Amino acid sequence: MGRHVCCTEKKLRKGLWSPEEDDKLYNHIIRFGVGCWSSVPKLAGLQRCGKSCRLRWINYLRPDLKRGSFSQQEEDLIITLHSILGNRWSQIASQLPGRTDNEIKNFWNSTLKKKLRQRGVDPATHKPITNAVQSDTKKPGSDNSSVNEALGEEKLMVKQVFNPFPETEFQAVSDSNYITPYPNEMLPFLGFEDYTGVLDVSDSYGYGDSSSNSNSSNWTCGNIGPEVTDVLETDHVLNWTSAEVQLHASGDEQFEQKIVFPCQENAMRTLCRDPFGTSREALANDLNMDYF
C-alpha cells in the first residue's frame, strides 16, 4: 500500500491547473478517452500525475458537469441522502446529475452543516440536537455520552441499507452507485428474483468506467405521475419531481412508496430503460419521449 508511485516523482507539477493544461487534458480525453489514468499525463503531454489528471477531469473538465449554485431541491436531496448514507459523497453525488462528490462535500461542510445547526438539527445524526442525546440513552449498552458512538451506529445502519444486494446473488445490481428508495424494514422482503425497485440515474453521468452497467439496470416503474411529463416538457435543465413507484417484492407482497428523484433528460432516458421491452416502450410512449 502506501503512497502511489506517480505521486512521489519530483518533477511533476502540483497546485492549480492552468488553462493550457486543461486544454491538453480535455483534448486528449475527448479524442482518445481515458484508458489508464497513469498513462494519461504522458500521452497528453502533461507534467502531472495520473491521479491529479483524473481529479481534474472528474471535478472540473467533464462536459456533463453542472455549474452554478445548488438549488433548494438539490440541497434538500443532499440532506436526505446524507441522513441515509452518511459521508458517502460519491454515492450522494451519483444521485445528483452534474454534481461531483467533491462539490457536494464542500457544500455540505461549508453551508449545509451550518444551516442544519441553525435549524437545531445535528448534522451528524440528523436528529434534533437535544433529542439526539436523549435517544442515545435508550439504546442498550449506551452510556449516553458519546456522539461518536451515535455516529458509529448510524454508519452501521447505513451499511445495511445501502448494500443489501450482494453482486453474487443479484448481478443486475452490481455496483454501489445504486440507491434503493426503500426504508430499512422493507429490505428483507425484496426478492432477488423479481427485484424491481432500484432507480438508476447514475450511469448517464457516471465516473470513469461507465460502460460496465449500461445494460444491467433491472427495474420497472409504474404509475409515473403527470408531473414527470411536465418535467420533460421543460428545457431539459435539471428539474425535480416525484413519482409513484411500485415496488414488487417476491411473493405477493407489493409496496408503494413516494420517492423524489432528479430529472434531467439523460436521467429520464435512463429511467425509461428496463429489461422488459414492452413496458419500456409503453412508458416511453406515455412520456412522449424516446427510449433505448
Partner DNA sequence: AAGACAGCCAACCGCACCCTA
Partner DNA sequence: CTAGGGTGCGGTTGGCTGTCT
Residues that bind DNA (CB under 7 A): 1-7, 13-17, 34-39, 48, 50-52, 54-56, 59-60, 69, 87-91, 101-103, 105-107, 109-111, 114, 176, 207-209
Let me know: does 266 contact 204? Beta carbons within 8 Å.
yes
What is the grid cell recorded at 150?
451515535
CB of 6 to DNA, least distance (A): 7
* CA 271, chain centre distance (Å): 14
* CA 126, chain centre distance (Å): 19
CB of 241 to DNA, least distance (A): 26
Let me know: does 217 contact 43? Beta carbons within 8 Å.
no
Nearer to DNA among residue 4 and residue 119 (C-beta): 4
Nearer to DNA among residue 36 and residue 141 (C-beta): 36
- CA atoms of 169 and 207, how far apart (whole Å): 25
CB of 141 to DNA, least distance (A): 24
CB of 51 to DNA, least distance (A): 6
CA distances from 251 to 135, 157, 169, 182 (A): 36, 26, 17, 17
Nearer to DNA among residue 13 and residue 126 (C-beta): 13
Nearer to DNA among residue 16 and residue 143 (C-beta): 16
- CA atoms of 290 and 283, how far apart (whole Å): 10
Nearer to DNA among residue 57 and residue 261 (C-beta): 57
CB of 177 to DNA, least distance (A): 7
Among candidates 161, 165, 79, 66, which has minimal Cα distance to 122? 79
CB of 54 to DNA, least distance (A): 5
Nearer to DNA among residue 74 and residue 103 (C-beta): 103
- CA atoms of 44 and 245, how far apart (whole Å): 46
Q: Name residue 260's beta-bridge partners.
A: 242
Nearer to DNA among residue 121 and residue 158 (C-beta): 158
Cα distance from N-terminal residue to C-terminal residue, the chain: 42
Query: In which region does residue 166 sit, left (phi positive, over 0), alpha (psi from -120 to 50) or beta (all else)?
Result: beta
Let me know: does 54 contact 37? Beta carbons within 8 Å.
yes
CB of 179 to DNA, least distance (A): 12
